[in-house]
Chains A and B, each alone.
Chain A
């Protein structure tokens, strides 16, 4: 075992994720969710995923280099455009990896 907290992470994340997945399904016969709430929930991916991927690529080489070593961030933007155009997980990942490989 390399990481001390790994079982806490696995069990905590498993429990938390199952609660997220199941709560509304278990309560389905008892509660009614308003359209307004559904609309707000629909924003979650747009609010969370960019906040994950942008720092991951923008600060790939740490925070000291503000203007250089941004190839991953640039490729990410290109891949976003590719994904928008082709709507394919496969094409997005493959083209992104190839462009990064060629650039570096």
Chain B
């Protein structure tokens, strides 16, 4: 389970540092971290807050970023099928890119369904602990780092690292390319609509691409 720590460390530190740059209070950052518990959407939400984007737009944008979790949720639903409601609820809450990645990397070695559930919940709890811990460290020490280090650039970098393992073959690279080009073309659309429009076009393009055999 330890292999996921290096993935959470920079991400958590950045979240904490961004929170302190944005001058969020400890309670606000804590609530964001515990209630939302989804780093990528949190980082974007704080960035949009700083740019005075309307709250509704921020929520929609964050939700769109987290749509990818449907994929993990569908895959985990087969494992959690027989579990009790509290375990399903906890399992849902703990669903993150990193917990899912660690679980899928090890699921072949787990024999029974109970073992799989236990491993997944354990990985998720471990993840959540380190996440909260590193965010706190970033929040406390973020202010001391010089701005010449361009730490905010770590945000797009960490998103690249999140997306990369999901690109299974050439078709996924084409989808990423279409999304990139659209996002440059539609940048000036109001209300951050560029993201939604680009994402939608890339999804439609991708679903046609998947249908074609090659």
Interface residues of B in 75-108 (CB under 8 A from A): 75-78, 80-82, 88-89, 91-93, 95
Given contacts A24-B73, A89-B6, A97-B154, contact A49 B160 (CB under 8 A): yes
B55 contacts partner chain A, Cβ-Cβ < 8 Å: yes
Q: How far apart sit A101 and B153, CA to CA, in the bound complex (Å)?
A: 10
Q: Are B63 and A93 in contact (CB under 8 A)?
A: no
Given contacts A5-B54, A9-B45, A20-B67, contact A83 B150 (CB under 8 A): no
Q: For the complex, would chain A's binding face be called helix, strand, loop or mixed by DSSP majority?
A: helix
Interface residues of A in 29-69 (CB under 8 A from B): 29, 33, 37-59, 63
B195 contacts partner chain A, Cβ-Cβ < 8 Å: yes
B118 contacts partner chain A, Cβ-Cβ < 8 Å: no
Given contacts A43-B202, A51-B194, contact A28 B180 (CB under 8 A): no
Q: How far apart sit A41 and B182, CA to CA, in the bound complex (Å)?
A: 20
A44: chain B residues at CB < 8 Å are: 67-68, 70-71, 203
Interface hit among B24-32, B125-133, B135-143:
B24-32
Q: Are A27 and B77 in contact (CB under 8 A)?
A: yes
Nearest residue (CB) in A for B181 is: A54
A-B contacts, 16 of them at CB < 8 A, read: A12-B55, A13-B42, A25-B76, A28-B88, A38-B74, A42-B168, A44-B70, A45-B68, A45-B71, A46-B202, A49-B179, A51-B199, A80-B160, A83-B164, A90-B10, A101-B148
13 further A-B pairs in the complex, CB-CB below 8 A; given A18-B92, A92-B157, A92-B160: A12-B55, A13-B45, A23-B70, A28-B81, A40-B203, A45-B163, A46-B166, A48-B179, A50-B179, A51-B179, A52-B159, A89-B11, A89-B158
